[in-house]
Amino acid sequence: MTTYQITGPKRLQTTIKLPASKSISNRALIIYALSGGTILPDNLSDCDDTEVIIQALENMPEVINIKAAGTAMRFMTAFLTATEYGEHVITGTERMKHRPIKVLVDALRRLGANISYEGEEGFPPLRIKGQKLEGGDLEVPGNISSQFISALLMIGPVLQKGLTLRLTGDIISRPYIDLTLWMMREFGANAEWTSIDTIEVTPKPYTPRPYYIESDWSAASYWYEMVALSEDPEAEIRLEGLMDGSKQGDSIVRYIFSLLGVKTIFAHKTPGKPTTVTLTKSGHSVPRLEYDFVSAPDLAQTFVCTCCALGIPFHFTGLQTLKIKETDRITALKTELNKLGYQIQDINDCELKWDGKSQHVSDITYQAPIDTYDDHRMALAFAPLACRMPIAINNPLVVTKSYPHFWDDIQEAQFTIQQ
């Protein structure tokens, strides 16, 4: 097993070209394929999750292995059912075979899809026979993963009757649904909220067009974390390729980190144009942080780690989807932060709470390494803690799932990494 020993720099000053947005890249690829486009979008993410979609769409093998890419599993499942590319089995890692997909399969079956389970009922792998689907009215719970909802929405324009999708109960991760609708409209689709819980997609085909993909606000969150944790009062990070007014849900990171002492400055705020964002310390931080992450669950690990290292008590809610991510992120956070002396409380598998008390040992250099559980965001969220303490991380290359050049980038920022 590879383990990185990481030490943070005394001075934090660097410029970083962030990776392209994984969320936008993966949606763009599916929409492009449905539009019949022949030129790929510009500045596609080079992460593992995007690469498996590219390979699947280019080669269309009989068995499509999307590895650990949850987005790819959901998006490709819907895509394969609604297109006439023959019969395929879609599968992934052992963890993927235990991530539920029944809600999506049931919804697609109600639209006429030909899907069967190759193993355990309700879980991948799936056998799919593609065909034209009629479409029509569909009702699904609003508290399921937004990736299920986005997968259904993106095939809407190619359904013979379009799609009227009603979401019941509480709707979580709404910004990701809005991102999908916005991108669909960018490619000529008619897709709109017609009421607080209903989305209408008409059977109007996509139109292929040149498309540039902005940098990833989720990746930016780890650099915000470094600035917040750095003991350099003049810390300054410049992040290239982000957009003001981004439709990415995780762009909310700039507002939440303003509560933890990080100031965000845009070089320019031209709509739809990438720019350089400079992060500095503001010198002001809240004494306690409470936040509902229902619309941005992928940021939870970043803020849990940041608050612990800063000694800021917190109560975070809206975390119900963390149990079914790449790992059970609630349990993983509790287990790994306990190694560093932080005892986190979870409530009903959807909240995390900390009273601000820690039990640090005197010599933290020999603490047990942080395990990553095949979850990229565990490695990415824990690495910035090196700004406050030496940190060891097992299986660090898991970051290739979303941010392949992360370790190169932090070494560019003068972090020291030893194996």
pLDDT range class, residue 362, cuts 50, 70, 90:
very low
pLDDT for 263: 98
The radius of gyration computed from the CA coordinates of the chain, to the nearest angstrom, equals 21
And the tokens for 116?
């069967």
> Nearest 5 degrees, angle CA 22-CA 26-CA 29?
140
- The yes-or-no verdict on residue 365 having pLDDT over 80 is no
CATH topology of domain 3-20+214-418: UDP-n-acetylglucosamine1-carboxyvinyl-transferase; Chain (3.65.10)
Q: Do domains 3-20+214-418 and 22-201 have the same CATH topology?
A: yes
First to last CA, the chain: 10
Residues in the chain: 419
Instruction: Considering only the C-alpha atoms of the chain, give the largest distance between any 2 of them, rounded to a whole number of Å.
Output: 67
- The yes-or-no verdict on residue 400 having pLDDT over 70 is yes
Domain spans of the chain? 3-20+214-418, 22-201
Nearest to 113 by CA among 123, 126, 128: 128
- Please give the average per-residue pLDDT across 381-402, as a whole number: 96
- The yes-or-no verdict on residue 116 having pLDDT over 90 is yes
Task: Please name the residue ranges forming H helices in 162-295.
Answer: 174-186, 217-229, 253-258
And the tokens for 74?
């959901």
pLDDT for 1: 82
Residues 48, 49, 250, 298: which is the catalytic one? 298
Provide CATH code, domain 22-201. Answer: 3.65.10.10
Measure Cα distances from 13 to 9, 52, 132, 212, 340 in Å.
9, 34, 54, 28, 27
Exposed/middle/buried for 195, CB within 10 Å: 0-12, 13-18, 19+? Answer: exposed
Nearest to 21 by CA among 226, 180, 203: 180
pLDDT for 360: 56
Over the stretch 153-190, which tens digit does the pLDDT of each residue have?
999 999 999 999 999 998 887 889 999 999 999 999 99
And the tokens for 392?
């060891």
Task: Identify whether the C-beta of residue 24 lies closer than 8 Å to the C-beta of residue 179.
Answer: yes
Known catalytic membership, residue 298: yes
**Cα 176 from Cα 192, distance rounded (Å):** 14
The Cβ of residue 291 has, within 10 Å, a number of other Cβ atoms equal to 18
